[in-house]
Amino acid sequence: MQLRDFDVNLLVTMEAIWTTRNVSNAARTLNLAQSTVSAALNRLRQALGDELFTWTGSEMVPTALAEQIMPDVSYLLNGVRTVLTKSLGKVDTVERRLVIATADYVVALIGAKLLTRAAEEAPQLSFDFVEIRPQFINRSTRPDIDMFLFPATALRTAGMESARLYHDSYVCIGAQDNEALYPGMPADEFLALRHIGYSALPKVAFNHEMMLWDQLGKSANLRLTMGNYLIFARIVAGSDAVAILPRRLATTLTGEWKLKWIEPPLPTPEIEITAMWRPDQGKDIAMAWLRQTLVEVTA
C-alpha cells in the first residue's frame, strides 16, 4: 500500500480505541457515531491485515501487532499535532484530550484550578485522570498516557523528561477523639496502632510513605490497604485506625471530618511531586501549557 492510498485519520480512531478500550467510548471521545468508528476500525483492519483489537466482553484488547505499532502511531500523530499547533501558534485553538496518571488526592488538590485555567486559556482541552500504577511507569513509552504526576523518589524511570512541581511531607491522621494517637508518642506504640495505608497493587504492604521504616526494620500494623487516599479520612473518622497522608491533603480533610494529625514519630520521606512526560512531547503546545499551568497551580 502506498501512503497516498492510506487514510491517516484511521490512526486517530486507533488511538481513541487504544485509550478507551471501548468503541462506544472512543466514539464519544471523537464526537462521532459509534457506527462511524466501527467502520473506520474495519477499514484499518483491512488496510493493516490484522484484527488490531479483539472484544473480550468487557473491553477491546489490543493484538500483538497493535501493541507493537502503537508507539509509532502515537509518535506520528503527535508530530502531526505539533505541525498544526505550530502553524496556529495558540493553545486556545488546540483541541486535545490529555491523559494524566496520578493518585486520586493529587486530582482533588489540582482539579478545580486546572479546569478553571483551561476554561480561560485553553477551552478546547479536556483531561482524563487515571490511577497511577507501577506497570505504567515500567512501560514508560506507553503511548496512551501523556503525563505522570507522582513522588520523584517513589519509582525510577529512564528516558523521560521531568519537572518538579511542589514539595510536601507526611502526617498521621486519626479521629479527633482517638486518645491513642498523640504528639510525641513512642515509635513502637505508634506502630502498634491499627493502620490503613496506600497500595497500588493488591497484597503489597510497601508504599512510599513507609519506605524508610522498612529500611529501619520497622513495620506498621497495617490492617487495610487500598489505592484511594480520599477514602482514608472517612474510615479513620469512624474507627480507631490511623493513616499516613500528605500534609496538603490532610489540611483540606480536617475541614470536612473530625480529625487530628501528628508528626509521625518515625522518619518519613519528603514528597517531591514531579511531572514526567515522553521526550517526543517536548515541543507540543498543549503539553507545554499543561506543564506550565501545573507548576503555577501547585505553587
Give domain limits for the chain: 94-166+273-299, 170-269
By three-state DSSP, how is residue 224 classified?
strand
Q: Tens of pLDDT along 248-290? A: 999 888 778 899 999 999 999 888 999 988 887 777 888 989 9
Q: What is the mean pLDDT of residues 218-234?
A: 90
Whether residue 169 has pLDDT greater than 60: yes
Q: Dihedrals φ, ψ of 243, to 5°?
A: -150, 145
Q: Do domains 94-166+273-299 and 170-269 have the same CATH topology?
A: yes
Q: Which of these ranges, 21-30, 196-205, 208-217, has the smallest mean pLDDT?
A: 196-205
Contact 163, 295 (CB under 8 A): yes
Contact 167, 155 (CB under 8 A): no
Q: Tens of pLDDT along 11-41? A: 999 999 998 899 999 998 888 999 999 999 9
- Mean pLDDT, the chain, as a whole number? 86
Contact 277, 146 (CB under 8 A): yes
* Alpha carbons within 13 A on the beta-carbon side of 174: 18
pLDDT band, very low/low/confident/very high, at 54 (cuts 50, 70, 90) = very high
Whether residue 210 has pLDDT greater than 60: yes
Residue with cell 512501560: 139
Question: How confident is the model at residue 198, as a pLDDT?
Answer: 86
What secondary structure does DSSP assign to 61-117, as a single string? EE-HHHHHHHHHHHHHHHHHHHHHHHHH--GGG--EEEEEEE-HHHHHHHHHHHHHH
- Of 288, 296, 230, 280, give the one whose Cα is nearest residue 77: 280
Whether residue 142 has pLDDT greater than 80: no
pLDDT band, very low/low/confident/very high, at 95 (cuts 50, 70, 90) = confident
Question: How confident is the model at residue 156, as a pLDDT?
Answer: 59
Contact 197, 243 (CB under 8 A): yes
> Sheet of 125-131: strands edge to edge?
125-131, 96-102, 147-151, 271-277, 161-168
For the chain, report the end-to-end CA distance as a whole number of angstroms: 51
* Domain 170-269: homologous superfamily in CATH: Periplasmic binding protein-like II (3.40.190.10)
* CB atoms near residue 20 (< 10 Å): 20
Question: How confident is the model at residue 76, as a pLDDT?
Answer: 87
Q: Dihedrals φ, ψ of 280, to 5°?
A: -70, -10
Q: Tens of pLDDT along 151-161? A: 876 665 667 78
Contacts by 256-260 with C-beta closer than 8 Å and gap 24+?
257/233, 258/175, 258/176, 258/177, 259/173, 259/174, 259/175, 259/176, 259/233, 260/173, 260/174, 260/175, 260/176, 260/178, 260/181
Radius of gyration (C-alpha) of the chain in whole angstroms: 22
Class of domain 94-166+273-299: alpha beta
